[in-house]
Structure 1
């Protein structure tokens, strides 16, 4: 049930709803006509398919009223002696079964007994159809309530003739007992029972959890917080549920007729937002609202709601009406032909505290306030469902001084235009000349009909054109080649020291930091620019050090050094920073070191290394502690250890380009073997150098891969 006394400040961050209602329309779509007053907290309105309107007062009295505003002096039912009322407790629901005219049975939902249980009871009318027999009560279902709030309260018969009961989560705040997600609790649920039996009730055999012992079989749907009011669309049996939120969101849920078994998410989710997901399932297991309303907009407790089914030609036909207890805002929500949902604002009167909706025999909609007043809801006739705005341009500025906006023409009325929700003075015309960007809407009013633009016309301002200067490096060398620059869009002008047309010449700018601007202007006068800096640095310098000019073919690989270290060596026999004589071969080889600190700034140093066929201190591998065979090899190359004391630590293969194509640091297990096998199958045919390092020496040998 709505918390009639919960009007607190909500200092909560506003989150955009997936289906948040649009901004307040300047034209109300409905109006409220007062029919009853002086009642005592009328919290439920019901009809039994005749001209009577049954008005349920929270303290425990049901009265009979008529559309002309008269109320019978004798109550239909008075059970104040057994109803525990106050706060969110009381006589909260009334439902007439389809066979009411024959059986005389009807059902109520109230809180009573010492521990304030929710009680679903069956009563009968007396020989006077305007008076029930209060002493023939049959309590067919009792549900313990751990706290005083969140008692639900609504009951209604579906098109399947079964009784549906909305129960709250048991109260307090945040569902501390986790009742809504508890499969064995009847709290926080939509229940569905068969009351056609002479006494008590039965569980319908097609309830979604019948036969599943994890669930109470009465459960039709779960994950509700406090479904204070729900309603069936009498045209198709579809169910609309207005579930009261915790501290941030009010929501409207929807399910097609017969599609039970859903979990609407509370306490894991409030509206679309996570609330307390501890122990919860994946998001896909829950059914989310079709509309949600944020407390940041002044809302606090939703009241549903009935579907407008009176007139199929009405602009609001098929909309489910709801309202908020605190803000007084009325909404209409419907499912569109494409199966998506839309929510529109209907009215925001100067008063609030709406607690219940209902019909009369002719399907006029009524809404009650807990101050004792009940209103009939009338719909304004519309000239058209959408006052569609068009314009001769959707941008203004940059050469476009003004734009003409056009609305459909209607006679004998007044037009009022709005810019971003603010009324435009002296705008009583179907054509408006504007020069300011923003969202434009229009309203037409006459004695015959009214109309409003549902979709604003968005007039955008032509802003500065986005412009980018391309291809300018952050740093560049003074002796680098001139840079050809580009801009996007193309066709603009470059400005800055060192610029000649679209070419930047570092020799002209000299050393330092310089700003380059690219400016572009289109034919309509819209322009933009981009500014970037370039730092011009001195020429780069580099030097190769510690490189002896002569090496033996049989000698060990030579580690090279250069300054600065960030450059790269290249040339015959080079692999990384190492020169391999066996790879380079006999002859004179030129070795390069290239250093490029910034684009356009490259320094190169070179040396010559002569490789001779001579005897070196490197051991002859064929007479050493190792043997390598077969040579030439095709698939596997074997390294055999001939010494028990000398064991290899690393083995690598180097190709003719100086690239290391195989490297392995042997494990203790591999070192203690008698031989090591290298698979050559993936290597191309050609000559390679095998390099074996142990604790004392390095062994090098040329091999052939067939």
Structure 2
């Protein structure tokens, strides 16, 4: 395995000063020298026997050297720091043997799950179910036969209802109700033939039915769009049982993301088990007024994919940038009502205006990377599977333009254990999305037509 240098990768602490919008800086190996890179946890080794159940979480914990050779323990930083980091930290080849797992983790690889898909944009599964549901941008949801590795059927075909003109429109998101096995309810997000954003509910009589009846469609929300881009489209149920919905700003280049009276540039949070067609959770930030009740977060340009990690109590948002920066935002799931800055900020730079932007109430990104390294972030998932326990708790994300895949852990409000898996996963193509199979293993969706599973290479 070869770990790539990350020249313009920046892990943010709280409170960076906003800066005028410059051209991306030239890579510098010295950027961020002295910035600590991880958790200093070796003292836990003595109690591992009594807490063996925690081993998968601890095997990666070790001192990380700073640039002067010393080690730094993790702390929650509250001073104003703009940290530009580089890393050569490695997981592969340096991990401990995990009980119940044969061999030492040497790296990662891609296992082909299916190919010849027509512009796949997402893959989703039902926990404990072998089937993988793949969304084609043109409007079909197809089911992968887990044994043959081929498509056994079209689960739902909305081709004639979906408007897919332009690369950012189409069938974009899908989520199964947490009680899908019992109630057969699932939800999809697509752009209709007028290119407006539509959130709909469907249902099947039996959760094992090979196809869904499109006649069961119930439209929950339709958002009129002026522009033709930035649809986002991520759907996911949170551990609170509510449905979270991602909507981009519409691509008009205005301040829609800051306008609390419209849906564009937001993440919504709704209760699909109450009301008609849904109810507003009482603890939503604007449930009592001041904005649309559905809004949970705002100031987002195009939150293409996000992950609600119930185990960690965090949301990870990949927000696609404009001219210079891509960003990942990590926040507690309890932190509704946050402003992620767009269009006042792009990354940590002032955008509108280009100087002297108002940082009042702004939530700075956790990670930014420059357009020297990519141009369109693909937010991913936190790994909570069982096949690679060494990477338990690592968040995976990618860049659609440059095709690389990276990961990190979020520990005590800090980014640690950054990895660049480009050498291992160099066949991933243009990563449109990540997904989770029914066992919680990571899937990679290549918009060129393939779906892969990330697997361990052990020695």
Determine the structure 2 residue equivalent to 1:207: 284
Unaligned runs of 5+ residues in structure 2 are 1-21, 33-81, 93-105
Task: Provide the C-alpha distance between the structure 2 equivalents of 1:137 and 1:159, rounded to a whole number of angstroms.
Answer: 25
Task: Provide the C-alpha distance between the structure 1 equivalents of 2:188 and 2:337, rounded to a whole number of angstroms.
Answer: 25
Determine the structure 2 residue equivalent to 1:123: 202
1:94 pairs, out of 153, 169, 174, with 174
Task: Provide the C-alpha distance between the structure 1 equivalents of 2:107 and 2:444, rounded to a whole number of angstroms.
Answer: 15
Give the TM-score normalised by structure 2: 0.74
Partner SS for 1:180? helix
Q: How far is 1:23 from its partner?
A: 5.3
Determine the structure 1 residue equivalent to 2:120: 42
Task: Provide the C-alpha distance between the structure 2 equivalents of 1:31 and 1:104, rounded to a whole number of angstroms.
Answer: 35
Determine the structure 2 residue equivalent to 1:13: 24
Q: How far is 1:255 from its partner?
A: 1.3
Choose between structure 1 and 2: higher strand proportion.
1
Q: How far is 1:67 from its partner?
A: 4.0
Is 1:331 matched with 2:406?
yes
2:155 pairs, out of 76, 85, 94, with 76
Is 1:57 matched with 2:128?
no
Q: How far is 1:294 from its partner?
A: 0.8
Determine the structure 2 residue equivalent to 1:480: none
Q: How far is 1:70 from its partner?
A: 2.5
Task: Provide the C-alpha distance between the structure 1 equivalents of 2:450 and 2:192, rounded to a whole number of angstroms.
Answer: 26
Does structure 2 retain, via aligned residues, the 8 Å contact 1:20–1:291? no
Does structure 1 retain, via aligned residues, the 8 Å contact 2:386–2:441? no
Task: Provide the C-alpha distance between the structure 1 equivalents of 2:225 and 2:328, rounded to a whole number of angstroms.
Answer: 24
Determine the structure 2 residue equivalent to 1:107: 187
Task: Provide the C-alpha distance between the structure 2 equivalents of 1:139 and 1:113, rounded to a whole number of angstroms.
Answer: 14
2:393 pairs, out of 292, 311, 318, with 318
Q: How far is 1:304 from its partner?
A: 1.6
Determine the structure 1 residue equivalent to 2:325: 249
**Which shows bigger deviation, 121-130 or 310-319?**
310-319
2:367 pairs, out of 269, 291, 310, with 291
Does structure 2 retain, via aligned residues, the 8 Å contact 1:63–1:71? no
Q: How far is 1:270 from its partner?
A: 0.9
Unaligned runs of 5+ residues in structure 1 are 1-10, 382-447, 449-706
CA offset digits 1:238-272 (Å, max 9, x no partner): 21111111111111111112211111111111111
Is 1:33 matched with 2:108?
no
CA offset digits 1:119-170 (Å, max 9, x no partner): 0000111456221110111111011111111011111100011110111011
CA offset digits 1:272-314 (Å, max 9, x no partner): 11111489974251111111111112x0101120111113973
CA offset digits 1:671-706 (Å, max 9, x no partner): xxxxxxxxxxxxxxxxxxxxxxxxxxxxxxxxxxxx
Does structure 1 retain, via aligned residues, the 8 Å contact 2:24–2:370? no
Inter-CA distance 21–98: structure 2 relative to 1 (3 Å threshold):
farther
1:352 pairs, out of 429, 433, 450, with 429
Q: Bigger radius of gyration, 1 or 2?
A: 1
More RCO (CA 8 Å, sep 6+): 2
Q: CA RMSD in A?
A: 2.4
CA offset digits 1:356-385 (Å, max 9, x no partner): 11111221111011111111112344xxxx
Inter-CA distance 292–125: structure 2 relative to 1 (3 Å threshold):
same
Give the TM-score normalised by structure 1: 0.49
Does structure 1 retain, via aligned residues, the 8 Å contact 2:156–2:214? yes
Partner SS for 1:315? helix
The 5 A counterparts of 1:60-459 are 60-68=139-147, 70-86=149-165, 87-114=167-194, 116-127=195-206, 129-172=209-252, 175-176=253-254, 178-197=255-274, 199-212=276-289, 214-277=290-353, 282-297=358-373, 299-311=374-386, 314-336=389-411, 338-342=412-416, 343-348=418-423, 349=426, 352-381=429-458, 448=459
Task: Provide the C-alpha distance between the structure 2 equivalents of 1:275 and 1:360, rounded to a whole number of angstroms.
Answer: 39
